[in-house]
């Protein structure tokens, strides 16, 4: 039986990342349309039925939106399973790649259970925040998986200095805090997923200011990292990841500001959640690109451009 090519494995990891981002975005669609309890129980949609049924108190649209989001979980799971099966057939074996693919696959049912508990808890704000943070972790791991599929398993060679690595650690911590603060803004806002759901009793302006300060801190750390990056010999991948990370968070900041001053319209909320998933993914890739692990082994693969992975100045 032929072994999967590097290109095929990498494509499967990209599919994993995209589906993980998609289900976070469709979760936002569920919330802004008030469809969070379109299927009022879990794991069934209605008591005694796995699919929507006619109900006088629940609009058909809400049922379709929530049930569609649940169905997408199977697409996410299928993408993760296919990826793991392909990774398992790679020779020579790739322990790190297997570990990442396995972790993402195991995370899918965990995320599904958290989503189910959110429904059973009637969309309590803290459970919705936890649900999104779980998605953030899976998106982060999926970003690492994408990078791992296109590299080798050599001992990691640091591309950045020790102090720059420290800035990267701070960047990731601030990114996590920034995303979590964003979930709190949502928790206090008007889009609860269901009109009867209690909201976080903290003034939205205060939460928005905290979220904005964390965005500014993230931008400042990116600026420091970029200033020090000039004195190193970065790979093209690291330069690309850094540039995209800067552009994405700037665009996300502008979108968030517009969303706030326009009264958080539903469309902009969904777009902002999409932007958040891209911020998480680019942060993950920036972290992964800070080390060089060689090129993946594939006896019959075409020779690739070495400059894509080796330091520019090296």
pLDDT the model gives residue 313: 44
Mean pLDDT, rounded, for 106-121: 95
Q: What is the pLDDT of residue 49?
A: 92
Q: Which of 9-23, 155-169, 185-199, 261-275 has the highest mean pLDDT?
A: 9-23
What one-character-per-residue DSSP string does the chain give?
Answer: -PPPPHHHHHHHHHHHHHHHHHHHHHHHHHHHTT-TTSS-SSSSSBTTBSS----TTS-HHHHHHHHHHHHHHHHHHHHHHHHHHHHHT-SS--HHHHHHHHHHHHHHHHHHHHHHHHHHTTT-HHHHHHHHHHHHHHHHHHHHHHHHHTS--SPPEE-S-HHHHHHHHHHHHHHHHHHHHHHHHHHHSS--SSTTSPPP-S-HHHHHHHHHHHHHHHHHHHHHHHHHHTTS--BHHHHHHHHHHHHHHHHHHHHHHHHHHTT--HHHHHHHHHHHHHHHHHHHHHHHTTEE--PPP-TTPPPP-GGGTSBTT-
Angle at 283 between CA 278 and CA 287, to 5 degrees: 150
- How would you label 105-124 residue by residue, b for 16+ Cβ within 10 Å and e otherwise? bebbeebbebbbebbeebbb
Per-position b or e across 140-153, b if 16+ CB within 10 A of its CB: bbbbbbbbbbbbbb
Least confident range from 161-170, 190-199, 201-210: namely: 190-199
Query: Residue 193 class from Cβ within 10 Å (0-12 exposed, 13-18 middle, 19+ buried)?
Result: buried
Mean pLDDT over 220-231 rounds to 91
Return the domain boundaries, the chain: 6-292
pLDDT in tens, 143-168: 999 999 988 888 888 888 888 999 99
Cα dihedral sign for 7, 9, 13, 18?
positive
Residue with tokens 């109900």: 55
Q: Is 12:81 a contact under the CB 8 Å cutoff? A: no
For the segment 287-296, what is each residue's pLDDT rounded down to a tens digit?
A: 999 988 888 7
**Cα(149)–Cα(170) distance, integer angstroms:** 26
The residue among 177 and 196 whose pLDDT is bigger is 177
pLDDT for the residue 279: 96
Give pLDDT, residue 298: 56
The yes-or-no verdict on residue 284 having pLDDT over 50 is yes
Torsion of Cα atoms, 73 then 75 then 79 then 81, to 10°: 70
Return the pLDDT at 1.
57
- Residue percentage of the chain with pLDDT more than 70: 94
Q: Is the pLDDT of residue 130 over 50?
A: yes
Lowest model confidence (mean pLDDT) among 3-17, 171-185, 212-226, 284-298: 284-298
């Amino acid at each position: 039986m032929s072994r999967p090519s590097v290109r095929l494995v990498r494509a499967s990891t990209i599919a994993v990342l995209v589906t993980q981002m998609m289900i976070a975005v469709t979760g936002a669609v569920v919330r802004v349309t008030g469809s969070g309890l379109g299927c009022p129980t879990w794991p069934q949609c209605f008591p005694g039925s796995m699919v929507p049924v006619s109900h006088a108190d629940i609009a058909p649209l809400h049922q379709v939106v929530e049930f569609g989001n649940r169905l997408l979980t199977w697409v996410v799971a299928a993408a993760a399973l296919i990826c793991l099966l392909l990774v398992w057939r790679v020779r020579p074996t790739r322990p790190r790649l297997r570990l990442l693919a396995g972790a993402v696959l195991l995370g899918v049912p965990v995320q599904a259970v958290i989503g189910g508990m959110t429904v059973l808890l009637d969309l309590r704000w803290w459970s919705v925040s936890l649900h999104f943070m779980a998605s953030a972790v899976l998106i982060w791991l999926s970003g690492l998986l994408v990078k791992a599929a296109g590299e080798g398993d050599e001992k990691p060679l640091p591309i950045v200095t020790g102090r720059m690595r420290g800035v990267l650690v701070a960047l990731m911590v601030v990114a996590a805090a920034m995303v979590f603060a964003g979930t709190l803004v949502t928790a206090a806002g008007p889009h609860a997923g269901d009109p009867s759901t209690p909201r976080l009793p903290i003034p939205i302006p205060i939460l928005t200011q905290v979220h904005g300060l964390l965005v500014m801190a993230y931008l400042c750390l990116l600026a420091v990292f970029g200033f020090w990056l000039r004195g190193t010999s970065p790979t093209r991948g690291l330069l690309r990841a850094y540039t995209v990370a800067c552009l994405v968070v700037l665009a996300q900041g502008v979108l968030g500001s517009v969303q706030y001053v326009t009264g958080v319209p539903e469309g902009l909320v969904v777009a902002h959640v999409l932007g958040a998933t891209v911020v998480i993914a680019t942060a993950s890739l920036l972290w992964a690109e800070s080390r060089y692990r060689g090129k993946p082994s594939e006896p019959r693969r075409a020779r690739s451009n070495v400059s894509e992975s080796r330091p520019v100045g090296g």
